Amino acid sequence: DTAVSQTPKYLVTQMGNDKSIKCEQNLGHDTMYWYKQDSKKFLKIMFSYNNKELIINETVPNRFSPKSPDKAHLNLHINSLELGDSAVYFCASSRMVGAQETQYFGPGTRLLVL
C-alpha cells in the first residue's frame, strides 16, 4: 500500500483555471505538509497542518488554499492559475511535529500551466 499518495500525478491546464490536488496518507500521521519544488529543484514549504489545524502558512499567494477534512487528507486548491505556478507539488506527512520525526513524501504532482 502506498504510504502517501497524491492525485493527479500530472496536471496540464490553462492560465486562469482553478484546480485541486489531493493528498492522502495511510500512516496514521498527525501532521501533513505541502511543498513546492520549482525548476531549479528548490523544495519550499507552503503549508503544514497538525490534527487538521493550520500550523505553518508561508508567504504563499492567497490563490492557494489548503483544506484538511481529516487527519489523513490534505488537499490543495489553486485559483486563477498563473504560469509561475508550474512546478512539482509534494505532499508529505510525519507522525508528529518535532522530535526525530522524519517526513514521508508523496510521489508529487507535476503541474504545468500553459
Partner 1 sequence: GQNIDQPTEMTATEGAIVQINCTYQTSGFNGLFWYQQHAGEAPTFLSYNVLDGLEEKGRFSSFLSRSKGYSYLLLKELQMKDSASYLCAVRDPLDYKLSFGAGTTVTVRA
Name the site residues for partner 1 (rule: CB under 8 A): 4, 40-45, 48, 55-56, 90, 97-98, 100, 102-108
**Contacts by 65-72, CB closer than 8 A, 24 or more apart:** 66/34, 68/32, 71/29, 71/30, 71/32, 72/24, 72/25, 72/26
Q: Which CB sits closer to partner 1, 55 or 112?
A: 55
Of 101, 85, 93, the residue nearest 6 (C-alpha): 93
Closest distance to partner 1 from the beta carbon of 16 (Å): 28
Closest distance to partner 1 from the beta carbon of 101 (Å): 8
Q: Which CB sits closer to partner 1, 2 or 17?
A: 2
Closest distance to partner 1 from the beta carbon of 81 (Å): 22
Q: How do strand 10-13 and strand 109-113 relate by DSSP bridges?
A: parallel
Peptide bond into 8 cis (omega under 30): yes
Q: Which CB sits closer to partner 1, 19 or 108?
A: 108
Closest distance to partner 1 from the beta carbon of 79 (Å): 25
